[in-house]
Amino acid sequence: MALPKSVHADRFVDQTQCLFCGSTELSAFIDGVQDWYFRASDKTFAFSRCDECASLVLDKRPDGDAIAQAYAGYYTHDTSIQPIRHSGLLQKLWGRARNGYINARFSCSPSLVDRVGAHLISAFPVRRERLEMEYRRLPETRSAVLDYGCGNGDFLAKARSLGHEVMGVDFDPEAVDLVRSRGLPACLVDAIEDKAFSRSFDHITANHVIEHVSDPRALIANFAKWLKPGGSIFMELPNARARGIAEHGNFWRGFEAPRHFALPTFDALKTALVNAGFANVSRIVRKDVRKSMDQIALSMIAEVGSQSKNLPVDLSLDEEEFITITAVSGD
């Protein structure tokens, strides 16, 4: 594949400390990581591992104009919501049950038909959990929802269709323009004056966002400030202890250099949340991710034809490719 104009080499910043605990004790973890999946950069990157919390840190992150180049052609620039069409009686009935679960669970619909559909879906835990992830554990009652890192606005559109009051924030001007063109409210991160909003929120979602920022602990602290007391947060990001790292090495989809600045372990992320004032940090086990992550990596390995698994021998891995959590804001 042809590469676009590469990110300028002199616009990278050395990362010399862990972004999740602040330790400067970092050890080499893996090298030979490239932007395999979006080809915005032709540089080769490495990740170090924090000796304190085992989070992973990108060796050099883009800065200034290089950040925009790193996101050229990124998937958040396109809309992806398509209407679900059901043909055949069984598919139509299943589609009605799905819609019933969505309406009853995420907008507190009083409809008896919706309630029946919700009960039916609840009898199938895997399908139910997929919907919970798609709708990011939205509250049952209509709420003020902030999607930080809103991308193309797909989630905002879903939440608003259920009656929630929504607001989107993103780092990328192209993404914000796209969201606004869909009639949805959104602003750039830089437009948040003094890192504060004029209102607070009932629910915040940060879906594959924390790994893209240079100071995740400060952002998590802001999330706590922006939530109402007792408000909830949903977060998901790649897991620094994913088993896919050992299996796919530098082709593991979760690395995504140079856009992913750091990847935490669950314990490191939980500590950051608790220190910011969050409580009831709960990890969600997802069984629907591993297969697709494997397929993506294997496809790229087959295309490129070389792979690095030069990893430390003292790996401590778990089965989850992502860290998916919910937590509650303190009083």
Q: What is the pLDDT of residues 296-308, one digit of tens each?
A: 999 999 998 777 7
Tens-place pLDDT, residues 243-267: 999 999 999 999 999 999 999 999 9
Of 297, 318, 260, give the one whose Cα is nearest residue 57.
260
- Asked if the bond preceding 258 is cis, omega within 30° of 0, the reply is yes
State which residues form the domain around 68. Answer: 9-76
Q: Are residues 184 and 282 in the same domain?
A: yes
Residue 189 shares a structural domain with residue 283: yes
d(CA 44, CA 32): 6
Which secondary structure element, helix H or strand E, spans residue 218, and what is its range?
helix 216-226
Q: Is 329 exposed, middle or buried (0-12, 13-18, 19+ CB in 10 A)?
A: buried
**Number of independent structural domains in the chain:** 2
- The DSSP bridge pattern shows strands 186-188 and 165-170 to be parallel
**240 and 311 together in one domain:** yes
Whole-structure pTM value: 0.88
Q: Compute how many other C-beta atoms are within 10 angstroms of the C-beta atom of residue 161.
A: 14
The CATH number covering residue 186 comes to: 3.40.50.150
Q: Domain check: are 72 and 203 in the same one?
A: no
The percent of residues in the chain predicted with pLDDT above 70, rounded, is 91
> Do residue 63 and residue 144 come from a single domain?
no
Query: Are 150 and 68 in the same domain?
Result: no
Whether residues 18 and 160 fall in one domain? no
Task: Quick: pLDDT tens for 26-49.
Answer: 999 999 999 999 998 889 999 999
